[in-house]
């Protein structure tokens, strides 16, 4: 039933930025084969051989959702919208990161779950925070003696958890009878449309379609009743899920999204096979651009040490011979080296100046925000290289 359609080669963990390049650390660097498969039974697209989450979500986890103004703003708007529509009294967030979502709620109403202790420590002073992986044991611990949650929110987390059985059983136990589960994750439809194969990395165990989410939740006596497109992470979906017998009616929007996904054949293996051929061509085209620009003596850097660019660099073999350095605003990425390709990461203050001719848009999902920020350099001739939807040079 599960069939591999995409092979992205030997990959390191997307978030394992190296603190130095000593032989010892290089020897310890973990690699795995990143293959992606399609399940014809429930239409799930997933990493064929997921990595153990304990290797990924450590106490040095680098990603901070609050780093980007786009994300801070998006979560603020989402919190406002969910408060207005559902007026929740008890809110559980699974994967609360640095608190970017929960900080928009009254602290007495919120329960946060975040397995990376460095992140959980950031919220535990103000909010009830459990520094644990989400599973049934934790759900029983939290809700055995207290009222169930009437809003469970989880952004960019459910798609990271290999064991969907454990995840949804724990959710079903924790959700009140009229409660709503709202999840946000990158959209498979956007990945296919944008050729954004870099959405596949070790943490994105699943890239959901609406069709697959609808099927999967039914296995756990839950029901998808609404979905909407959102702009974050280069095209995501927000899914609204309730208990099987809850009052919510299937929305017209959901019916139309499901129809559109069927029309675009997101339930057929052939769609993904064709996508994988486009990905191979995209790799060739990107390398051609890099080599041509480098041969002409240009200085090329990369903008944003994103997890997505780990996939691109390792798949396309783009290393420090082609890219001088990567700039990133995140303090705990600066001074480190990118996973697998070992390109140095420095602050934008040090790295973004007139000496840069081209910058690979690693954080292509923040293009608008970045173009606003780099307006002066763009006016002076800086150009970006982007591989989505197709490798090309972009400017102003
Ligand atoms: P993400 O796509 O996984 O959220 O990661 C985005 C990364 O890009 C994050 O490390 C912060 C970085 N970044 C910058 O360095 N400059 C920027 O202007 C933006 C928006 C992000």
Indicate whether 348 pLDDT > 80.
Answer: yes
pLDDT class of 372 with cuts at 50, 70, 90? very high
Q: Residue 68 C-alpha to ligand 1 middle, in angstroms? A: 6
Nearest CA to ligand 1 atom 8: 304
Average pLDDT of the chain is: 96
Q: Which residues line ligand 1 (CB under 6 A)?
A: 63, 67-68, 304-307, 327-330, 333, 363, 365-366, 369-370, 373
Report pLDDT digits (tens) over 28-41.
Answer: 999 999 999 999 99
On the question of pLDDT at 153 being above 70, the answer is yes
Residue nearest to atom 13 of ligand 1 (CA): 304
- What integer pLDDT is reported at residue 396 of this predicted model? 65
**Residue 65 — φ and ψ, nearest 5°?**
-60, -30
* Atom from ligand 1 closest to the CA of residue 65: 4
For residue 307, the ligand 1 atom closest to its alpha carbon is: 3
What is the residue with the minimal CA distance to atom 5 of ligand 1?
306
Q: Which domains does the chain have, with CATH numbers?
A: 37-267 (3.40.50.150), 287-394 (3.40.50.720)
For the entire predicted model, the pTM comes to 0.94
Mark residue 61 as left, alpha or beta (left: phi above 0; alpha: psi -120 to 50; beta: remaining): beta
Q: Distances from the Cα of 98 to the Cαs of 65, 278, 360, in angstroms?
A: 7, 36, 27
Residue nearest to atom 17 of ligand 1 (CA): 370
């Amino acid at each position: 039933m599960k069939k591999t359609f995409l092979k992205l080669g030997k990959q390191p963990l997307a978030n394992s930025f190296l603190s130095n390049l000593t032989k010892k650390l290089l020897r310890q660097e973990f690699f795995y084969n990143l293959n992606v498969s399609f399940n014809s039974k429930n239409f799930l697209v997933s990493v064929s051989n997921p990595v153990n989450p304990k290797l990924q979500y450590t106490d040095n986890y680098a990603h901070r959702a609050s780093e980007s103004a786009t994300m801070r703003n998006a979560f603020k708007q989402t919190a406002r919208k969910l408060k207005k529509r559902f007026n929740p009294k008890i809110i559980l967030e699974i994967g609360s990161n640095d608190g970017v979502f929960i900080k928009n709620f009254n602290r007495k109403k919120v329960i946060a779950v975040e397995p990376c202790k460095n992140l959980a420590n950031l919220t535990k002073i103000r909010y009830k925070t459990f520094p644990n992986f989400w599973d049934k044991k934790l759900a029983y611990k939290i809700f055995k003696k207290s009222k169930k949650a009437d809003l469970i929110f989880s952004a960019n987390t459910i798609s990271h958890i290999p064991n969907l059985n454990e995840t949804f059983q724990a959710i079903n136990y924790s959700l009140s009878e009229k409660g709503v589960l709202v999840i946000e994750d990158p959209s498979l439809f956007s990945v296919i449309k944008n050729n954004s194969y870099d959405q596949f990395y070790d943490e994105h165990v699943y890239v959901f379609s609406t069709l697959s989410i609808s099927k999967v939740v039914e296995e756990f006596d839950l029901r998808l009743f609404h979905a909407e497109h959102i702009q974050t992470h280069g095209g995501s979906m927000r899914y609204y899920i309730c208990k099987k017998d809850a009052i919510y009616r299937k929305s017209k929007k959901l019916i139309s999204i499901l129809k559109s996904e069927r029309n675009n054949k997101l339930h057929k293996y052939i769609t993904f096979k064709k996508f994988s051929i486009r990905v191979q061509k995209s790799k060739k085209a990107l390398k051609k651009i890099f080599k041509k620009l480098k041969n002409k003596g240009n200085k090329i850097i990369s903008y944003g040490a994103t997890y997505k660019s780990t996939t691109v660099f390792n798949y396309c073999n783009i290393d420090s011979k082609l890219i001088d350095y990567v700039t990133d605003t995140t303090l705990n990425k600066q001074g480190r080296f990118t996973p697998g390709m070992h390109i140095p990461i420095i602050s934008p203050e040090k790295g973004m100046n007139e000496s840069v001719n081209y910058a690979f848009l690693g954080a292509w999902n923040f293009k608008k925000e970045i173009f606003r920020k780099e307006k002066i350099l763009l006016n002076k001739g800086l150009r970006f290289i982007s591989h989505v939807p197709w490798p090309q040079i972009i400017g102003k």
